[in-house]
Amino acid sequence: MNRDNKTREVTDLKLEVIPRQEHGISRKGISENALKVLYRLNKAGFEAYLVGGGVRDLMLNTQPKDFDIATNATPEEVRKLFRNCRLVGRRFRLAHILFGRDVIEVATFRGHHGSEKGEKGEKSEKGEKNASQSNDGMLLRDNVYGSIDEDAERRDFTVNALYYNIDDFSIRDYAGGVEDLNNRVIRLIGDPETRYREDPVRMLRAVRFAAKLDMTVNEATAAPIPALAHLLRDIPAARLFEESLKLLQSGYGSQTYKLLRDFNLFTPLFPILSEHFTEDRNSKCEQMIELVLKSTDERVASEQRINPAFMFAAMLWYPLETRAEEIAFESGLSYYDAFMVAANDILDEQVKSIAIPRRFTAMIRDIWQLQLRLSRRSGTRAYKLLEQNKFRAAFDFLEMRGEIEGGQLQELAQWWDDFQKADRDGRNDMVQVLNKASSAKKVRRRRKAKPRRRKPTQES
């Protein structure tokens, strides 16, 4: 097995079996539903392993978010064992075992493209029929089943090629994953460029795991990424939306963003934002990105609710402002009309790379539009704005803008903060002060009445 902590890549796998007494994983740390699936598969005569991130996180003494299972049973065989099973996926067929909201994902051992077993274990003339690839080497279909040894070779990173065997409670380590966990290294299995071309999302996963686990990306694994980042443009926008949430809304978005920038992976996801980037990474747009991601991380840590719409609204705000000003200048439209046109333009462009669902784009528009209305507080407007469904999100965003821009914007955010905290009389007083100030600024001018035109007298 060729391995070096700095530059070498994993080319040959060598199995190491770690017995129960030599590792710290206990069944107490595994969810009850995952254990049910493991035991039933094992009792039916199939191999059954807890695999990937679940094993990795248990080895790091952290609670896994998901428990994924690998087996030699085909998806159809899994479905026969579990009435609460549904089969999903086209690129690679998976079985989802449903326990209410808890979903245990079961995957059949993956084989090599040239292997003889296809989707139903039948012989195929060529492996290519079961695992087609694009001209760039990206896998379009991957329903080729194999053995656990082949499955380990198909795993992406060494720390994810760990298998917990429910039969004897041992850990099967195929790629030195335990050593890399101890050394805090993210290392790809196989030739990095080939693996990235097979699935460009692996580049995002390398960065995500490095940020999440506070590890370093191995040099050989990191080297091809900047040059291959453009391959992400070939990934379906819907898949990249899901990946963007994992990257930026899982509690370590701020650090992930910095790594994405370092590896040139951020621009393929948000091409509109790249026009607003500077060498010192301190433009208003960049400050906003860091501010909203830091806020999101804090909310995740404190188990508060988060909404993707707020994050996207904040990240895309300054491109929206720039576009609105350009449209107003070039077309002669009022700023409000230009703003609404620009909002549609920005979202239309962004969904081409990350397919933000309509339920979120509608909220993004609401947050943006309220930014124009929050400065209008006289009369009953302040009370009506306070009743808006998206007021709180709009206010939080206003505070962020004020923190970046200062001046009158920060004063406006402070006024709204005071207004929310004030009692009924206090709010009335605040609005009265505004009304008086507004009246004092108005210069009333009497309009001179135009003289009536006299009708010409008719000569008799």
Neighbours of 295 (CB within 10 A): 20
Instruction: Specify the length of the chain in residues.
Output: 460
Q: How far apart (Å, rounded) are the C-alpha atoms in residues 380 and 428?
A: 10
The single-letter code of the amino acid at 152 is: A
Separation between Cα atoms, residue 316 and residue 283, nearest integer Å? 13
Beta bridge partners of 157: 188
**Alpha-carbon Rg for the chain in angstroms:** 29
Query: Nearest 5°: CA angle at 369, between 363 and 374?
Result: 120
Contact, 51 vs 69, CB < 8 A? yes
Measured on CA atoms in the order 220, 226, 231, 232, is the torsion positive or negative? positive
Indicate the burial class of 380 (C-beta count within 10 angstroms; 0-12, 13-18, 19 or more).
exposed
Residues catalogued as catalytic: 66, 68, 156
State the amino acid at position 339 in one-letter form. Answer: F
SS3 60: coil
Q: Could you give the CA distance from residue 159 to residue 283 in angstroms, rounded to a whole number?
A: 37
| Token code pair at residue 319 | 């491109």
